[in-house]
């Protein structure tokens, strides 16, 4: 019977190539449908690798769709990502590509990323770096971010970076005493910084970053945007460099 001979080939092709070669089951009689179902089962039991191939193709397609969707998110939020007017900017401010990091001081992977990002910036030399304060791991995270942002408002960018680095290495519980100890140790005006932590300006900055992360579908830290690419999670410097090189190549 034609149906019996064609079933395995049709099944394999339809699983691997998708709707284009899908069989119209509505055109079959009940008997033909039953026979076809039996043939499908027999074929898959004899050739289980077809299922694995189909899953691989589906995962590749989904990954490609996610990458495309992330690129659109970056494009739609370019100004707020790269030039919001309040986030700290380092690396090479005139670099040809920008790396944005959404981070949390209590995040272990964010702490691991510090040395990787520093290595990337030093080795490449042409990357602009933007830090986004995105406290999502509880009140201790929020308190640390408020302290860092308040430092920037009170004492400027250099002081912010010093406090940022200190908080990334700090293993204690953030509170007024411990945070004051950090700023005192850096020779900063601790009273002014502590007083500014609950200011509307600090609250607005953190709120705006939260809103941006929500629009970008970012729910974890660290999360990066490198040029046009979204990097969801920790990556070593070598991989980020490869991505940066790819972004640059796509422009030429």
Backbone angles phi, psi at 68, to 5 degrees: -65, -40
pLDDT at position 22: 56
pLDDT at position 62: 65
Crossing angle (nearest 10°) for helices 49-76 and 2-17 = 30
pLDDT top residue among 44 and 58: 44
What are the residue ranges spanned by the domains of the chain?
Answer: 2-69, 76-251
**Residue 51: pLDDT above 80?**
no
What's the pTM? 0.77
Mean pLDDT within 78-102 = 97
Helix (H, G, I), strand (E, B), or coil: what is residue 131? strand
**Residue 5: pLDDT above 50?**
no
Name the pLDDT band for 1 (thresholds 50, 70, 90): very low
pLDDT in tens, 207-217: 999 999 999 99
Query: What is the spatial distance between Cα 226 and Cα 247, in angstroms, rounded to a whole number?
Result: 8
pLDDT in tens, 143-184: 999 999 999 999 999 999 999 999 999 999 999 999 999 999
Which CATH number applies to 76-251: 3.40.1160.10, 3.10.310.30, 3.40.30.10, 3.40.50.720?
A: 3.40.30.10
Query: What is the spatial distance between Cα 210 and Cα 132, in angstroms, rounded to a whole number?
Result: 9
pLDDT at position 68: 73
Mean pLDDT within 98-102 = 98
pLDDT at position 20: 44
């Amino acid at each position: 019977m034609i149906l019996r001979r064609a079933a395995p080939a049709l099944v394999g092709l339809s699983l691997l190539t998708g709707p284009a070669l899908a069989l119209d089951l509505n055109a079959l009689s009940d008997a033909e449908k039953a026979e076809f179902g039996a043939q499908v089962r027999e074929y898959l039991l004899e050739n289980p690798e077809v299922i694995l191939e189909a899953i691989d193709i589906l995962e590749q397609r989904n990954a490609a769709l996610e990458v495309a969707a992330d690129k659109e998110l970056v494009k739609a939020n370019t100004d707020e990502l790269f030039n919001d007017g309040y986030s700290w900017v380092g690396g090479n401010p005139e670099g040809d590509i920008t790396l944005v990091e959404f981070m949390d001081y209590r995040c272990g992977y964010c702490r691991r990323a510090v040395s990787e990002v520093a290595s990337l910036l030093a080795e490449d030399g042409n990357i602009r770096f933007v830090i986004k304060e995105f406290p999502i791991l509880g009140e201790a995270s929020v308190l640390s971010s408020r302290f860092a942002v308040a430092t920037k408002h009170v004492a400027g960018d250099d002081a912010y970076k010093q406090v940022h680095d200190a908080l990334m290495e700090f293993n204690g519980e953030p509170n007024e005493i411990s945070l004051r100890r950090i700023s005192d140790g850096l020779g900063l005006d601790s009273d002014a910084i502590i007083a500014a932590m609950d200011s509307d300006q600090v609250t607005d900055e953190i709120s705006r970053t939260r809103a941006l992360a929500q629009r970008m579908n970012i729910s974890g830290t660290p999360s990066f945007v490198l040029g046009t690419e979204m990097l969801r999670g920790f990556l070593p410097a070598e991989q980020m460099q490869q991505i940066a090189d790819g972004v640059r190549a796509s422009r030429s």
